[in-house]
A and B are shown apart, each in its own frame.
Chain A
Amino acid sequence: MEIIISIVVGILFTVGTYLILSKNMTRIIIGTGVLSHGVHLLLLTMGGLKKGAAPLLGQEAPFYTDPLPQALILTAIVISFGVTSFFLVLAYRTYKVHGTDDMEKLRGIDHD
């Protein structure tokens, strides 16, 4: 199973990178979203996908899945949500102020 998930992670990374490399600001933000999904899935996979009970002691099962990666992912999800929403508003403001969403045109001030 890990191999299949790893390939899925690879595809998510490919799509995320491809979007981040485009000129359009909205696509870049969407790309970061895809990328963070990929990362979360990767974290989960690295923790091992062995079948066990959910990490709730009330289940009284002989085996549990590893709780630590889950805690890490939970933190990561919240942080990437914060960053994504910030980016979204930043993109909105940039578009309002500069009137373009083309990254190639947003090059700062030419000093020479």
Chain B
Amino acid sequence: MTLLHWATISPLLLAILIPFLYKYLRSVHTGWFVLALPLVLFFYFIRFLPETSDGGVIEQTVNWVPSLDINFTVFIDGLSLLFALLITGIGSLVVLYSIYYLSKTKEQLHNFYVYLLMFMGAMLGVVLSDNLIVLYAFWELTSLASSLLISYWYHRKKSTYGAQKSMLITVFGGFAMLGGFSLLYVMTGTFSIREIIGNVDTTSSLFIPAMLLVLLGAFTKSAQFPFHIWLPDAMEAPTPVSAYLHSATMVKAGIYLVARLTPVFGGVPEWFWLLSGFGIVTLFWGSLSAVRQKDLKSILAFSTVSQLGLIMCLLGLGSASLYFGAGTDTTMYTTATLAAVFHLINHATFKGSLFMTAGIIDHETGTRDIRKLGGLMTIMPVTFTISLIGTASMAGLPPFNGFLSKEMFFTGVLNATELEIFNMKTFGLLFPVLAWVASIFTFVYCMILFFKTFTGEFKKENYDKHVHEAPFGMLISPIVLGSLVVVFGFFPNLLSYTLIEPAMNAILPTVLGPDEQFYVNIYHWHGFNTELFMTIGVILFGTFIYLMMKKWAKLEIYLRERDPLNKVYDGSLVLLASGSHTITASFMRGSIRQYLIYIFSFMVLFIGYMLFKLNAITFTGEGSAPITFHETTLALIMCIAAITVAFARTRLTAIISLGAVGYSLALFFVLFRAPDLALTQMVIETVSTVLFLLCFYHLPVFKEKFEKVPFRLTNLVVSIGVGALVTIFAISAHYSKSFESLASFFVDASYKEAGGKNMVNVILVDFRGFDTLFEILVLGIAAVGIYSMIKLRLQKEGS
């Protein structure tokens, strides 16, 4: 274990200590103990910046299960470092924010910080692992921790509903992803991502299934259409959780995975189309749905969905450059990847700050409903300023960083129309149109978010609390994030050399020639081009729609807050439960007779089929014993007695006939030279009959009415089947003996080795004495059982 490994799992280790800190140091808010860790980790990871920006990588391996090629390999390059910094940086801010957000006395803080640290450790593990299986393990841990955090207020029904939903959807995707990873292993023979890159055969028949399964994992985690429905319901979590998990980190795990595996799958039309297609649909759908929401956090949730779609789409468009390979000028396409990485950072900053301000508003006013809010501008000036920066950046207004990434996004989709591969000639135009419309809606919900909260009249009766500005501690984190929005807006190239270029190197490693390097320079002003006019159009149309909102607010689609896809989800859950109940109830009827019929029919059909199939039915007639008069007569008597049992209408007839069968069996034993058996059978049969007769008066009388005909017919068919099968089986088995019996050994050895002349008895007590021992045990247990059943009278039910 190197320091890097310890750093990766340190949040998990600290999580173990949290309950003790919470219990024994009650006077201090537990969050203060937690805060140190992400801060230290943040600065620890910053130290790697110089190395990765020079194109270097750090790799440390600890063997875990080397025989299965599962090793805990921590691997740092530009992409994983970018994510690690996001996780630890925003993690510190969120912990700081939560210290002021969550009450020390009212909340169960130990639970909160244990889950949060668990999540942080898992997330670090996801982005730093090079081994797919280890990555998967951490991946599932993030799902688990996320569900725990969503249901933090577990007494609320909506929280548990949201937690269950996110769990079901993300774990479903996680399993699919595991399948994809296994297929990758089958194709390449290794779980290491570094080794898989370049070793994958794109023409293999497993390539597309592996891609689909991996993407299913990424799409469910990153809330892509139609799996985005869990994200809005996850808003029941405390706001720090929403800010951390559901805007900045966990939902970007899918983005990370896609970016990480782009060198594996990229460059083929399927990857390009799946990513950019689902991305753009998610972008459009998310922005459209966000406009309908009435709750601040729901707006932000759908906005997150939409922005994640944007990043996903850009990653898809950027993957086209892998098609061309090194040497050609692919700047046109790599712009999309650049925009994706840049927007990833931007989104983390402004969405984090917006969630925190939404939390502040909720905390200070007691409501998040935009129909109740309004006029907070002068009352909460700091929150107002941060929100202004955040929403303006999200809407894509200059001079904030959102503007820059939105311009690059437009460049990306416009370049996509000029792409000459992957059928883009036909469908290419779809991208800029959808992107542009989605941007208009993005602009509209940003305006709603901002104006409905801060402008207008201040109605005191709408609020339960005395409304005032948040305490300073709560404002620190949003201020930091808001400042970053501004800083990255004015000085975008701060990030270019340190973070974006190394990340692009990791996403598109084969695009560059040996000595080339990505050269990223983000300009504010790039002349009067199409992108700029598109932005102006967005602003004009957006403002127009916002001003006309009263008009179309009555439209049915606007009133519907819940995503219609929820109906599919809820319906399928109900259908699944009722369907499985119906199926189970249809054959698990509680009737022992039915189960026996299943068992017997299966036996007859299966064994019968196999007998036919394997041509096992043999009858040679060789070596049979001669047919004699005595035995045939006895067989006849036995059959008559047996059939009498079946048709007996009284208990007595049945018992006597059963006795007759038993005594005939004893006679058979006599005829077939088995004196000990005959003796035992005689005695046992007598005792059994006596037992039956003893119970005779206590046994219930047979029902006067016999069972109905169809009932008896089924029984008859099944039992004749069983009988016929056994007969055929017995005959076939008898005539296909493949080796001699052991009899000669017992004949030789009985006297010589065991000193007995009665071979059967010698076998019972000497050669196979263990059988006898346990048979005695069986009798003993039966005796004890009978005794206790008669003697012990437990209390009746209910008493």
- Which A residues fall within an 8 A CB radius of B? 1-27, 30, 33-34, 37-38, 40-42, 44-58, 64-68, 70-71, 73-75, 77-79, 81-86, 88-93, 95-96, 100-104, 106-108
B626 at the interface (CB under 8 A from A): yes
- Tell me which of B658, B707, B741 contacts A48 (CB under 8 A): B741
Residue of A nearest to B715 (CB): A21
* Contacts A18-B715, A52-B673 supplied; 15 other A-B pairs, CB < 8 Å: A5-B635, A10-B727, A14-B724, A21-B715, A26-B654, A38-B726, A50-B623, A55-B759, A56-B757, A57-B750, A67-B750, A68-B742, A73-B677, A91-B699, A108-B590
Q: Which 9 A-B pairs have the closest CB atoms?
A: A14-B723, A10-B727, A17-B719, A82-B782, A67-B759, A18-B719, A107-B590, A55-B759, A57-B757
The distance in angstroms between the C-alpha atoms of A102 and B593, with both chains bound, is 11
Contact B642 A1 (CB under 8 A): no
Chain B residues, Cβ within 8 Å of A108: 590
- CB atoms of A21 and B638 under 8 A apart: no
Residues of chain A within 8 A of B691, CB atoms compared? 85, 88
Judge whether B757 and A58 touch: CB under 8 Å.
Answer: yes
A68 to B781, CA, bound (A): 26
Does B775 touch A at the CB level, under 8 Å? Answer: yes
Contacts A58-B757, A73-B677 given; does A4 touch B627 at CB 8 Å = yes
Chain B 647-681 interface residues, beta-carbon cutoff 8 Å to A: 651, 654-655, 658, 661-662, 665, 668-669, 672-677, 680-681
Instruction: Tell me whether B673 and A9 are in contact (CB under 8 A).
Output: no
Which listed segment binds A: B318-326, B327-335, B563-571, B763-771? B763-771
Chain B residue nearest to A66 (CB atoms) is B743
Bitwise, B627-657 to A at CB < 8 A (1) or not (0) is 1100110010011001101100001001100
* Minimum C-beta distance from A29 to chain B (A): 9
**Interface size of B in residues (CB-CB distance below 8 Å):** 92
B576 in the interface (beta carbon within 8 A): no
Q: Contact check, B775 vs A79: say whether CB atoms are below 8 A apart.
A: yes
Q: Main secondary structure on chain B at its contact with chain A? A: helix
Q: Taking the complex as formed, is B491 at the interface, i.e. its CB lies under 8 A from any CB of chain A?
A: no
B674 touches A45 (CB 8 A): no
Q: Which B residues from 774 to 799 make CB contacts under 8 A with A?
A: 775, 778-779, 781-783, 785-786, 789-790
Q: In whole angstroms, how far apart are the Cα atoms of A28 and B715 in the complex?
A: 13
Inside 8 A of B783's CB, which chain A residues have their CB? 82
What's the minimum C-beta distance from A80 to chain B, rounded to whole angstroms?
9
A36 to chain B, nearest CB (A): 10
* Proximity string of chain B (703-726) to chain A, C-beta cutoff 8 Å, 1 when within and 0 when not: 100010000001110111011101
Measured between beta carbons, the chain B residues less than 8 angstroms from A49 are: 624-625, 672
With known contacts A10-B727, A37-B662, A57-B757, A15–B702 Cβ distance under 8 A? no
Within the complex, the shortest CB–CB distance from A66 to chain B, in Å, comes to: 4
Of B687, B746, B789, the contact of A68 (CB 8 Å cutoff): B746
A71 touches B716 (CB 8 A): no
Q: Choose one: A1, A53, A88; the contact of B625 (CB below 8 Å).
A: A1
For residue B700, CB closer than 8 A to chain A, the reply is yes
Q: Inside 8 A of A14's CB, which chain B residues have their CB?
A: 719-720, 722-724
Some 7 contacts from A to B, beta carbons below 8 A apart, are A15-B642, A15-B643, A21-B596, A68-B741, A75-B772, A93-B790, A101-B699
Asked if residues B734 and A2 are in contact (CB atoms below 8 Å), the reply is yes
Of residues A51, A53, A55, A58, which shows the largest number of chain B Cβ atoms within 10 Å of its Cβ?
A55
Please give, as numbers and ranges, the residues of chain A lying within 8 Å of B658 by CB-CB distance: 30, 33-34
Interface check B695, CB cutoff 8 A: yes
Contact indicator B763/A95 (Cβ below 8 Å): no
A91 to B681 alpha-carbon distance, docked (Å) = 24
Q: Is B760 an interface residue (CB 8 A)?
A: yes
Chain A contacts of B203 at CB under 8 A? none
Docked Cα-Cα span, A71 to B769, in Å, equals 11
Q: Is B597 an interface position by the 8 A CB rule? A: yes
